[in-house]
Amino acid sequence: MPLFGKKKKETKAERPQVAVSQNETSYFGKNLRIKGRVSGNGNVIILGGLDGEFNLRGRVKVAQSAKIKGEVKADVISVNGSVKGSLAAKDRIHLDQTARVEGQITTPKLTISEGASFDGEISMNDRSSKPTGTRKTDSALEPPSTTAPTKKIDDR
């Protein structure tokens, strides 16, 4: 397989460059399946499958090919794919034309495009727009404090 060897060399040369460009948006490709919990600070685009939980400070984009079972908590959530479970945003949620959502939505601001399918409940209480007022939701949205040493790692 001569093609294979070539590819290997290319990837070796390219990769260090990828590491240098500090991309803040995580990207989970369409063939990637994750079971478990994704948390932290940053934006995420998911094209694959997630069975579990998103708990992020940032934006989550659920692309058309993505399938999520479980909970999604973030500042901003935009859905093009399918979600079974609950969506909770601090800021806003958008369901695009191709979205298929089954479950519960909690958000202060919501838009649903024509063509989107949504089967479930919506709760839009005004308190959640000011995160300091609601202690309960705040602690639930807070990622675990064990993520603290990121600064040290950064120095390297």
Binding segment for another protein (CB under 8 A), chosen from 1-9, 74-82, 102-110, 123-131, is 1-9
Binding segment for another protein (CB under 8 A), chosen from 34-42, 102-110, 111-119, 126-134, is 34-42
Binding segment for another protein (CB under 8 A), chosen from 8-16, 101-109, 110-118, 134-142, is 8-16
CA distance 117 to 97: 8
Number of chain residues interacting with another protein (CB under 8 A): 42
Helix count and strand count (H, E) for the chain: 3, 10
Binding mask 83-112 for another protein (x = CB under 8 A): ------------------------------
Q: How far is CA 30 from CA 2, 3, 34, 68, in A?
A: 27, 24, 11, 12
DSSP state of 151: H
